[in-house]
Amino acid sequence: MVLLSPAEAQWTNRYPRPDWLRHSVYYEGHELPIFSAGPIDPAPAPDGLHVAFAAQGWIWVLNLTNGVATRVTRGKAIDSRPRWSPDSRELVFVRDSGRVTSIVRLNLARGLEDPLVENGALNLDPEFSRDGQTVFYSSAEAGDLDIWRISLSSRKRTRVTSAVGVERNPRSLPGGKQLTYLSADTRLRKEIREISLSDGSERILRAKSGAGQASFDLNAAGQTLVYAWPNGSRWQIEAIDRADPVPAYEVTKGRGLPRSPAWSADGATIYFVEGDLNNRSQLYRVRAAGGTPEEVKVESWDWRAKTGRIRIVTTMEDDDTPIPVRLTIEDERGHPLVPASGPSYFDSQSGRVYFFSPGTIELEAPAGGFRVTASRGLTALSKTRVDRIPAGRDSDVRVRLSSLWNPRAAGWVSGDHHFHMTYDGIYRLTPDALLPLMAGEALDVATPLLANINNRLLDAEWAGTERVGTDGSILKFGQEVRADLLGHLGLIGIEKLYEPWFWGPPYPDYGFGDRINSEALQLTRREGGLSSYVHAIRVADPFAKDAIGQIPLELVADAVLGEVDALELLGLWSSGEGNSQLWYRLLNAGLDIVPIAGTDAFVDTHRGMALGTVRTYVQLDGAPLSWSSYQSALKSGRSFITNGPILLFQVAGKEVGEVIPHGDSRVRWRLELPSAANVERIEIIANGAVIWGTNRSLASSRKVYEGVVMLPRGGWIAAKARGGETRWPSMGTPPFAHTAPIWISHRSSFDQKARQAAVHDLLLALSAAEARSLKQLPYSTALRARLALARTRLEGMVQ
C-alpha cells in the first residue's frame, strides 16, 4: 500500500508508486500483470495461424493448426502481455522482475531478446505501430503511467500522454495518426480514449465506473473496439463502432468473467480468456457477431526442455496425515511454479507467488532444482525444502511443519472479520471456494463483507449465507456499509442487507436524504449482530493537531452513544498504533468496545494478502465452536488481535475479557509470547499508559515474561507487541498484536484522571467533526444533532 513511516505500520508498496496514488493495492491488483497456470493475455498473430499468450509466467505461441503451444521465453522473471509485429516475426512483451517491469522485444526465428525499455520504472502493454517502426507502451518514467513510444531504429523515447492517473493498453489506428488507449483515475473509473498524435486532441469512446480489470482491443481496420466490461455483478464482452460509440453490442451476453478480448487478423473472431470452475484460465474464441464461445484447446505443451512431475505432501512433524497449507514453489532460477488449476496469488510484500494445497498437490515443470516453502496460519513455522524435479519421471516430496502453539488444543479459535470475496478481481469465487483457503491458513471463522464498487453492489445474493467446513470452520457473510463522509462500517452476523449500502459525499445524493451511520448500526443490533468501524485510522497519532480531522466523522459520536460494539484495530488500510490510540480513549471513558481485526483482502484479486494473515483469536472457554459461541465470546472481549505475535496474557489469574475484583493492589502478571516473527517491543498497558516494557523477542521462539504490577483503582490492563520485519507466515503490515482489556473492579470501570484526559481528547475530535460537518450540506443536519448529543454525554462524564 502507501509507503508510510514505520510508526504507522501499514502495508508498503513493492513496486514504484506513482506520484498521485493513494493505495497501491488497487493499482497493482488492476493494472499490473498476473501469473496464471493457464493461458492469459491472448494475442492472435497477423498471419492468422498462431496465438501468443502467457502461461506459467512465460510466453507461449500456439499453432492453431495442430494445437501445440511452444514456450518461447524462459528465465526467472514473469513474462506477460505479448503483442505481434505486423510481419508476425517478432513479439514485444512485459517482463516483471517482482519490483519493476520492462519491455522486451523477441525475434522468434532466432530466439534473440532485445530489452527495449529498462528504466527502473513500471512499463506495461507494448504495442507495435502499424508500420512496425515504433513500439507504443505505457510507462511511469515521468511519475505515473503515461503512453510513450520508442523508435526501433533510433531508440528515442517520446511521451504521448501526460494526464494524472493511468494511461495504458495503447492501440494504433491505420495511418498512424491516432491512438486509442485505456485510462483510469483515482476513483477506479475506466475510460477508452482516442487521441490525435498530431494535435493531442482527445475524445472518450466508452467509460465505466469501477471497472478495475477492464481491457480492450481494436480490429485491424480500426473501425471496431471490443472490450471486457462489468455489467452489474457480471462481466461481458461488448463491441462498439468508433464512428458511433454510443450503442454497444453484447458479444458474450454476461457469461462468467471474460477478460482480455483480442481480434483475429481478419476481424471475424474475438479471442478471450476465462477461468473454469477451478479458476484455471482457458482460451476461447467467439464470432465477432456473438454466439456460443468455443474453447481453443492446447493439445500439447512444448516446453523446449525436459520436464518431470512432482507430488508434494504436507504434514505436521508428529502426524503423517496430509494437511492444507499455503505453498510457494520456485525453480532453481527463482521462477514461480504452480499446479495446473486453482487460483494463484502474489504477495506484494515478499514478492512470492503462492497458492493453496489441500495437503497433496502435483505439478509439471522443467527438470532441475526447486525450492518449496509451506506455511499454515500464524502459529506453524514456515518450512522450506530444496529438492529436484527429475527429467521424465515422477517424484514425491514431503514437507513437515512444526508448531509454536496449538490454538484449538488450548481452547482458542481465530477469525478474519474483514475481507471481500469479490472485488473486481480475476477469479470467480463462491462461498464454498473460500473454505479451502481458510483451511490452508488454519482459520476457523471468516466473515466476508459484501461491498460496493462505486454503484456496483457485489455478491448481494450471498447476504446472510453461512457455510460450515468439514473441519468445523465457519463462514458467515456480513456487509461493509460505506458512507465515505461518515466512516465505513462492518456489520457482522446480519441476515439481510442494509440499504442503501453507500451514500453521501463524494458519492452523488441519489435522494437518500440526511442519513447517518447509526441507522445501520441499530439494524445490526436488532438482528443480534456485531457492529464495528473498520480501517478508521491511517496515522500513528490521530489526536495530533494536524491529524484529528482524519478521524471518521461519526465514529466518536456513535461510540460515545453506545452504538459501536467493536473497533477494527488492524487491517490492510490502517495503522494498528493509530487505532489503538483512539481505542484507549474510548476505553478510558468507560466504553466497553472490543478489538477486532481483518485483512481487508480482495480474495478474487491475484495480487494481495492471504486470508487470516490479520486475525482475531477468541477464547471459547470450553464451548464447541459454533457461530453463536464464537460471536458471544467475541462480544465479551475474550480475545486478542494479531498479524503474527501470539499474546497469552494473565493478570492476578484473570485472562482477557475477565474482571479483576479489586484495584489499587499489587498483583502478578504473566505474558506468554509465541511468535514466528521478530518483535521489537513488548508492553503492558494500563489505562493507555505503558507500565512495563521490554525490547526484542526473536522469531520462532516462545518467550514467557512475568512480573508484579500495581493496579490502578479502576480501568483496564492489556498487552501489546509490535515492530520487526514482516516475514512468512505473516504478510502485509509489520508485526502487531494487542489483547482485549482485562477490566479492574467491573466491566467499563475507569480511572477518574484517565477519564478526564480521554474526554478532553474525544471532545476535541467532536469539535473537528462538527467543523467538518458544516461543510457537508445536505448531509449535515442529522449528523450535527448526533454530534451535539454525544458532546452532551461526554461533558456529563466529567461534571
664 pLDDT more than 90: no
Encode pLDDT of 732-787 as tens digits.
Answer: 888 999 999 999 999 999 999 999 999 999 999 999 999 998 887 667 789 999 99
Short-list 478, 464, 357, 438, CA closest to 625: 438
Q: What is the 3-state secondary structure (H, E, C) of 761-784?
A: HHHHHHHHHHHHHCCCCCCCHHHH
Describe the chain by its helix, strand, coil percentages, rounded to 5: 15, 40, 45
Q: What percent of the chain has pLDDT over 90?
A: 82
pLDDT band for 698, please (50, 70, 90 cuts): confident
- Mean pLDDT, residues 21-31: 82
Straight-line distance from the first to the last Cα atom of the chain, in angstroms, rounded to the nearest whole number:
44
Pair type for strands 615-619 and 639-642: antiparallel
pLDDT at 521: 97
Buried b (16+ CB within 10 A) or exposed e, 388-416: ebeeeeeeebebebebbbebeeeebbbbb
Collect all residues with Cβ–Cβ distance below 8 Å to 437 and sequence separation of at least 6: 356, 603, 610, 611
Average pLDDT, the chain: 93
pLDDT band for 501, please (50, 70, 90 cuts): confident
- Mean pLDDT, residues 72-99: 97
pLDDT at 232: 75
Cα torsion 364, 366, 368, 372 to 10°: value is -40
Encode pLDDT of 407-461 as tens digits.
Answer: 999 999 999 999 999 998 999 899 999 999 999 999 999 999 999 888 888 899 9
pLDDT at 9: 46
Between 698 and 57, the more confident residue is 57
Lowest mean pLDDT across 68-72, 103-107, 130-134, 660-664: 660-664
Is residue 560 within 8 A of residue 706, CB to CB? The reply is no
pLDDT band for 186, please (50, 70, 90 cuts): low
Lowest mean pLDDT across 449-463, 485-499, 676-690: 449-463
Q: Which set of grid coordinates corresponds to residue 655? A: 485472562
Is residue 333 within 8 A of residue 326, CB to CB? The reply is no
Please, how many CA atoms are within 13 Å of residue 417, restricted to the half-sphere of its CB?
Answer: 36
Encode pLDDT of 118-148 as tens digits.
Answer: 999 999 999 999 999 999 999 999 988 999 9
CATH code that applies to domain 12-301 = 2.120.10.30
pLDDT at 379: 95
Question: Which part of the chain is CATH 2.120.10.30?
Answer: 12-301
Asked if the bond preceding 500 is cis, omega within 30° of 0, the reply is yes
pLDDT band for 8, please (50, 70, 90 cuts): very low
Is residue 311 within 8 A of residue 81, CB to CB? The reply is no
pLDDT at 10: 53
pLDDT band for 678, please (50, 70, 90 cuts): confident
- Mean pLDDT, residues 170-193: 90
Indicate the class that CATH gives domain 406-642+759-799: alpha beta
pLDDT band for 277, please (50, 70, 90 cuts): confident
Short-list 601, 454, 609, CA closest to 535: 601
Q: How far is 449 from 479, CA to CA, in rounded Å? A: 4
Q: Which set of grid coordinates corresponds to residue 334? A: 527463482
Taking domain 643-722+735-750, whether its CATH number is 3.40.1160.10 is answered by no
Residue 751 neighbours by CB distance under 10 Å:
22
Collect all residues with Cβ–Cβ distance below 8 Å to 199 and sequence separation of at least 6: none
Encode pLDDT of 614-629 as tens digits.
Answer: 999 999 989 999 999 9
Short-list 434, 433, 444, CA closest to 471: 444
Short-list 20, 218, 53, 210, CA closest to 136: 218
pLDDT band for 343, please (50, 70, 90 cuts): very high
pLDDT band for 5, please (50, 70, 90 cuts): very low
User: What values do phi and psi take at 409, rounded to 5?
Assistant: -65, -30
Collect all residues with Cβ–Cβ distance below 8 Å to 484 and sequence separation of at least 6: 502, 504, 505, 506, 507
Pair type for strands 383-389 and 368-375: antiparallel
- Distances from the Cα of 137 to the Cα of 123, 140, 151, 205, 619, angstroms: 7, 10, 11, 20, 54
Q: How far is 609 from 598, CA to CA, in rounded Å? A: 11
Pair type for strands 715-722 and 736-739: antiparallel
Q: What percent of the chain has pLDDT over 70?
A: 97
User: What fold characterizes domain 306-403?
Assistant: Immunoglobulin-like (2.60.40)
pLDDT at 668: 97
Question: Which part of the chain is CATH 2.60.40.10?
Answer: 306-403, 643-722+735-750
689 pLDDT more than 90: yes
Encode pLDDT of 302-325 as tens digits.
Answer: 999 999 999 999 999 989 999 999
pLDDT at 573: 84
475 pLDDT more than 70: yes
Task: With H, G, I as helix, E, B as strand and everything else as coil, classify residue 31.
Answer: helix
794 pLDDT more than 50: yes
Q: How far is 600 from 611, CA to CA, in rounded Å? A: 9
23 pLDDT more than 90: no
pLDDT band for 254, please (50, 70, 90 cuts): low
pLDDT at 2: 29
3 pLDDT more than 50: no
Pair type for strands 474-476 and 445-446: parallel
pLDDT band for 46, please (50, 70, 90 cuts): very high
Q: How far is 683 from 694, CA to CA, in rounded Å? A: 7
Amino acid 185 reads D
pLDDT at 432: 95
